Amino acid sequence: MSLRNIAIIAHVDHGKTTLVDELFKQSGTFRENQRVEERAMDSNDLEKERGITILAKCTSVEWENEGETTRINIVDTPGHADFGGEVERILSMVDGVILLVDAAEGPMPQTKFVTGKALALGLKPIVVVNKIDRPDGRPDEVLDECFDLFVNLGANDEQLDFPVLYASGRNGYASEDTEAREGDLQPLFKKIVEHVPAPTVDKDAPFSFLVTLLDRDNFVGRILTGRIATGTLKINDPIKAMDIDGNIVEQGRATKIMAFRGLEREPVDFAEAGDIISLAGLTDATVANTIATPDLMEPIASQPIDPPTLSMRFAVNDSPFAGREGDKVTSRMIRDRLAKEAESNVAIRITESADKDSFEVAGRGELQLGVLIETMRREGFELGISRPRVLYRENEAGEREEPYETVVIDVDDEHSGTVVEKMQMRKAELTDMRPSGTGKTRITFSAPSRGLIGYHGEFLSDTRGTGLMNRLFEKYGPYKGSITGRQLGVLISRTTGESVAYALNSLEERGELFIGSNVAIYEGMIIGENAKPEDLEVNAMKSKQLTNFRSTGKDDAIRLTPPRLMSLEQAIAYIDDDEMVEVTPKSIRLRKRHLDPNVRKKESRKKEG
């Protein structure tokens, strides 16, 4: 049986996971009567709900052609830059890549980021223009954009001579003809086998293996996934782990070897060079470590892990409603859960505060940390989350540097002026602006990450919900000075109890409300946005005074405007430096860090002083 290892590169929502579903079905991985969930590769609940790939995953399909069977190991990579820590290392496991692009949108920033890494490693791409049946599809222009992208990324002549297929992952067909609207994925299988080389490996050399992904199992402990570079491995063989510099991390035995068969990991007794496997038996080895036989001294060169660029404070929930909705509320429980996360997610770094009741969690972006908070919330945790802050560093000259991002925005032409103005207020530099057809403009900025915190909600309002924004870590650059944040103040409850419709009705003229009537509130909780720049303390429990007199007309029933309800990411992006998000399994509340108004006044006087 011959072997092929490929990765699929695609931007968020370009149809990568749906295409893999069809590869499964057409290769016979599933039985005919087997019940299969849609988007089978998106295995956790958050991936299914959001329609994005968060965790890189390996799988394999077997394809038979003219009596010869080929096993194709497929790595499904995350399309969002916040999970880029996964992507960079995965490419070292494969010998070829499929670049999947939307027939209407074309190559997007994340595509550019991962494709650049793939081309630098010498991998040869197969371009698949997906969603060919879209009414606004422009396959020929998209193909030209892909070629230009490869040229800009420094592709060699062999890489520029790439095969092209036009496909519809949802309808399960691929063809070399742009007009095809039916068929199957056999052309894609053929292209993979013909164009992607089989792994060139030395099976007789000593065993060596580079850890690319890290997972945890309650029964077998730490599971290390990667591709065997040289040699063979049997169950119970002695092994050791080395870091990038060749220092020994630990020694042990291979207690379990698992190979990918369809969606499952199946135990095997023996594995050889070229195959992608998972390995158990070590307790301290981590990503970028080399696992090898005890007599091998030279580690495999590996991709360093990119440093985190953003951090948030995870604190014990100290609001008056603490412990009402969640059952995991102590700092010990939060510490243990974060330590477990850091063990399997190498892009996250955790530091405990001196007072032991909060933790600084650093990661690659708001979405990555938002996914962690949402996961913990569903597990029953209660947390207080601070506003995200960027992580600065100093250059050799001792000057402060901050992270920058490339921001690509697609908007209707009528909104482009507003977007450019707002981005320039946030110290972004316009690097490119061009029409992208159908009345839309594509604008590219280089912006400090700090200026983008909290902008997404405002951006959607400015573009009437039609704009698309894609962000990608670019570099560390010079510190840009102060950046204006939220322009408006908030409405703060000065009482604890339940909100009353009569009081909220009179507060509506003050600004926009975040809560409805009969909602539990407490002193210091944020219940709305003020229409003016300053914060305002209000009473949301004020009832109508009852008298003995009856009015001639019946009192009109109070009709409140529906409140603005925020998702977790929107709430985190909205808050200011002196505010927090209270996260529980049932509620997301905004609050001031200091609930007591007297303490808040003292703090503001200190800042002014």
Are the beta carbons of 196 and 96 closer than 8 angstroms? yes
Q: Can you give the pLDDT at residue 109?
A: 63
Q: Can you give the pLDDT at residue 535?
A: 87
Angstrom distance (rounded) from CA 120 to CA 87: 14
Q: Can you give the pLDDT at residue 527?
A: 92
Q: Is the pLDDT of residue 52 over 50?
A: no
Rounded mean pLDDT of 301-327? 83
Q: Can you give the pLDDT at residue 110?
A: 62
Q: Can you give the pLDDT at residue 574?
A: 84
User: What are 213's two structure tokens?
Assistant: 């992904």
Q: What is the pTM of this model?
A: 0.72
Rounded mean pLDDT of 402-427? 87
Q: Can you give the pLDDT at residue 39?
A: 40
Q: Can you give the pLDDT at residue 591?
A: 92
In the structure, what pLDDT confidence band is assigned to residue 37 with cuts at 50, 70 and 90? very low
Are the beta carbons of 443 and 428 closer than 8 angstroms? no
Q: Can you give the pLDDT at residue 54?
A: 40
Strand partners for 477: 402
Which of 5, 10, 21 minimizes the C-alpha distance to 128? 10
Residue type, position 173, single letter: Y
Which of 248, 252, 223 minimizes the C-alpha distance to 237? 252
Are the beta carbons of 287 and 211 closer than 8 angstroms? yes
Are the beta carbons of 419 and 459 closer than 8 angstroms? yes
Rounded mean pLDDT of 182-203? 85
Angstrom distance (rounded) from CA 458 to CA 529: 14
Angle between helices 139-152 and 109-120 (to 10 degrees): 50
User: What are 521's two structure tokens?
Assistant: 């509130």
Q: Can you give the pLDDT at residue 298?
A: 84
Q: Is the pLDDT of residue 84 over 60?
A: no
Rounded mean pLDDT of 366-379? 84
Q: Can you give the pLDDT at residue 582?
A: 92
Q: Can you give the pLDDT at residue 491?
A: 92
What digits encode the pLDDT tens for the residues 543-560? 877 666 655 444 457 788
In order, the DSSP letters of 170-190 are TTTEEES-TT--S--SHHHHH
Q: Can you give the pLDDT at residue 13?
A: 67
In order, the DSSP letters of 279-335 are EE--SS--TTPEEE-TT--PPPP-PPPPPP-EEEEEEE--STTTTSS-SB-SHHHHH
Contacts of 143 (CB under 8 A, 6+ apart): 127, 129, 164
User: What are 53's two structure tokens?
Assistant: 């790939």
Share of the chain above pLDDT 90, in %: 6
Q: Which residue has the higher pLDDT, 164 or 368?
A: 164
Interior CA angle at 526 toward 521 and 528, to 5°? 105
Query: Which stretches of 28-174 are DSSP H helices?
Result: 45-50, 84-90, 109-120, 139-152, 157-160
Angle between helices 16-27 and 186-195 (to 10 degrees): 100
Q: Is the pLDDT of residue 480 over 50?
A: yes
Asked which of 455-459, 530-534, 553-557 is least confident by mean pLDDT, the reply is: 553-557
Q: Can you give the pLDDT at residue 553?
A: 45
In the structure, what pLDDT confidence band is assigned to residue 521 with cuts at 50, 70 and 90? very high
Rounded mean pLDDT of 48-76? 69
Are the beta carbons of 346 and 305 closer than 8 angstroms? yes
**Phi, psi (5° rounding) for residue 317?**
-70, 115
Angstrom distance (rounded) from CA 511 to CA 491: 8
At 459 the three-state DSSP class reads: helix
Q: Can you give the pLDDT at residue 36?
A: 42
Asked which of 22-31, 201-210, 356-365 is least confident by mean pLDDT, the reply is: 22-31
At 73 the three-state DSSP class reads: strand
What digits encode the pLDDT tens for the residues 206-240? 888 888 777 777 788 888 888 888 888 899 989 98
- Checking phi first, is residue 51 left (phi over 0); if not, alpha (psi -120 to 50) or beta? left
Residue 73 burial class via C-beta count within 10 angstroms: exposed 0-12, middle 13-18, buried 19 and up: buried
Are the beta carbons of 88 and 123 closer than 8 angstroms? no
Angstrom distance (rounded) from CA 97 to CA 87: 12
User: What are 34's two structure tokens?
Assistant: 């087997």
Q: Which residue has the higher pLDDT, 555 or 378?
A: 378
Q: Can you give the pLDDT at residue 12?
A: 65
Angstrom distance (rounded) from CA 293 to CA 279: 14
Interior CA angle at 544 toward 540 and 547, to 5°? 160
Q: Can you give the pLDDT at residue 398?
A: 85
User: What are 234's two structure tokens?
Assistant: 């049997």
Angstrom distance (rounded) from CA 508 to CA 516: 11
In the structure, what pLDDT confidence band is assigned to residue 305 with cuts at 50, 70 and 90? low
Rounded mean pLDDT of 322-330? 87
Q: Is the pLDDT of residue 82 over 50?
A: no
Rounded mean pLDDT of 168-174? 84
Q: Give the C-alpha distances (Å, rounded to integers) separating 336 from 44, 89, 217, 358, 383.
A: 21, 27, 16, 13, 14
What digits encode the pLDDT tens for the residues 145-160? 889 888 888 888 888 8
Neighbours of 75 (CB within 10 A): 27
Q: Give the C-alpha distances (Å, rounded to integers) separating 449 from 257, 373, 402, 532.
A: 42, 20, 8, 27
At 358 the three-state DSSP class reads: strand
Angstrom distance (rounded) from CA 496 to CA 540: 9
Our CA dihedral for 470, 476, 477, 480, rounded to 10 degrees, sits at: 70
Which of 201-205, 310-314, 449-453, 557-561 reaches the highest mean pLDDT? 310-314
Q: What is the C-alpha radius of gyration for the chain, rounded to an integer number of angstroms?
A: 27
In order, the DSSP letters of 111-146 are HHHHHHHHHHTTPEEEEEEE-TT-TT--HHHHHHHH
Which of 25-29, 90-94, 152-156, 384-388 reaches the highest mean pLDDT? 384-388
Q: Is the pLDDT of residue 81 over 60?
A: no
Which helix H or strand E contains 394, and what residues bound it?
strand 393-394
Which of 376, 310, 367 minimizes the C-alpha distance to 52? 367
Whole-number average pLDDT of the chain: 81
What digits encode the pLDDT tens for the residues 239-277? 988 888 888 888 889 888 988 877 678 888 888 888 888
Strand partners for 405: 447, 473
Q: Which residue has the higher pLDDT, 9 or 89?
A: 9
In the structure, what pLDDT confidence band is assigned to residue 133 with cuts at 50, 70 and 90? confident
Angstrom distance (rounded) from CA 608 to CA 71: 67
Share of the chain above pLDDT 70, in %: 88
User: What are 548's two structure tokens?
Assistant: 């003995």
Are the beta carbons of 467 and 409 closer than 8 angstroms? yes
